């Protein structure tokens, strides 16, 4: 099963803005919503962006999502130490009839 | 409050079978599709399967077709994953997750806490 492409790592200092990219194809990101999941160490993933650019209640407005063509991105502004986690993008793939996950990006707050 | 609780994990020998369960509460279970996702130790997320709200439609990751079967019992608010002919590479935490309503399969929110399966002799 193919995956969506994310950078393996990203980093920033407190207060900075970081962006994590997610690249796919016309059968997944190009035609479906993108979801972003945050996974803190030892815990289950939690959605931070749904339907490409929507933020669940309880998720700080420092988190935002965007989508253009076959790519998507997650931006975190005003970086905080508690944002240090693994982040995964995901989208339904029409050709595979299944969910594809990105390989994950480990965000480090320096 | 939506709650998903997985169970049934443990240590199993290669070639044996195991059935995982996911007990749900806090939402109208029979109205929502449900997923299984796994995560090998230190690795990323791998989608396993999804079943429609009524259990009639099921989709699987290509690599797992034929060995894993997803099912649900709407009378018991429980999702299952039957895993046969297990291999060491199936060692992972297995999560269940709720999708959106109707024929929606693209959302996974929320997730259970996961159950650990270790395939080893």
Cα A109 from Cα A16, distance rounded (Å): 9
pLDDT score of A81 more than 60? yes
**Chain A residue closest in CA terms to B106:** A92
The pLDDT assigned to A1 comes to 47
Tell me the average pLDDT across A96-107.
Answer: 96
Cα A10 from Cα B13, distance rounded (Å): 38
pLDDT score of B118 more than 80? yes
φ/ψ of A99, rounded to 5, equals: -90, 135
Cα B61 from Cα B50, distance rounded (Å): 9
Min Cα distance A14 → chain B (Å) is: 26
Question: Is A37 close to B45, i.e. CB distance below 8 A?
Answer: yes
Confidence of residue B107 (pLDDT cuts 50, 70, 90): very high
Tell me the average pLDDT across A87-100.
Answer: 96
pLDDT in tens, B40-87: 999 999 999 999 999 999 999 999 978 999 999 999 999 999 999 999
Question: Is B44 close to A103, i.e. CB distance below 8 A?
Answer: yes
């Amino acid at each position: 099963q193919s995956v969506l492409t994310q950078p393996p790592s990203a980093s920033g200092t407190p207060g900075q803005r970081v962006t994590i990219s997610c690249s796919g194809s016309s059968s997944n990101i190009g035609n479906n919503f993108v979801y972003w999941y945050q996974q803190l160490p030892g815990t289950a993933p939690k959605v931070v962006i749904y339907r490409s650019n929507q933020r669940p209640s309880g998720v700080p407005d420092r988190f935002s999502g965007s989508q253009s063509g076959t790519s998507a991105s997650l931006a975190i502004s005003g970086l905080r130490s508690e944002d240090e986690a693994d982040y995964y993008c995901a989208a339904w793939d029409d050709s595979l009839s299944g969910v594809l996950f990105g390989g994950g990006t480990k965000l480090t707050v320096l | 409050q939506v709650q998903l609780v997985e169970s049934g994990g443990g240590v199993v020998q290669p070639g044996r079978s195991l059935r995982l369960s996911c007990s749900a509460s806090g939402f109208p279970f029979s109205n929502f599709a449900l997923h299984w996702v796994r995560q090998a130790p230190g690795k990323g997320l791998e989608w396993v399967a999804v079943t429609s709200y009524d259990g009639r439609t099921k989709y699987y990751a290509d690599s797992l077709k034929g060995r894993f079967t997803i099912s649900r019992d709407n009378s018991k608010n429980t999702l299952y994953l039957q895993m046969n002919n297990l291999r060491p590479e199936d060692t992972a935490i297995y999560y269940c997750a709720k999708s959106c309503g109707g024929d929606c399969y693209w959302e996974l929110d929320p997730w259970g806490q996961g159950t650990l399966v270790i395939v080893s002799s």
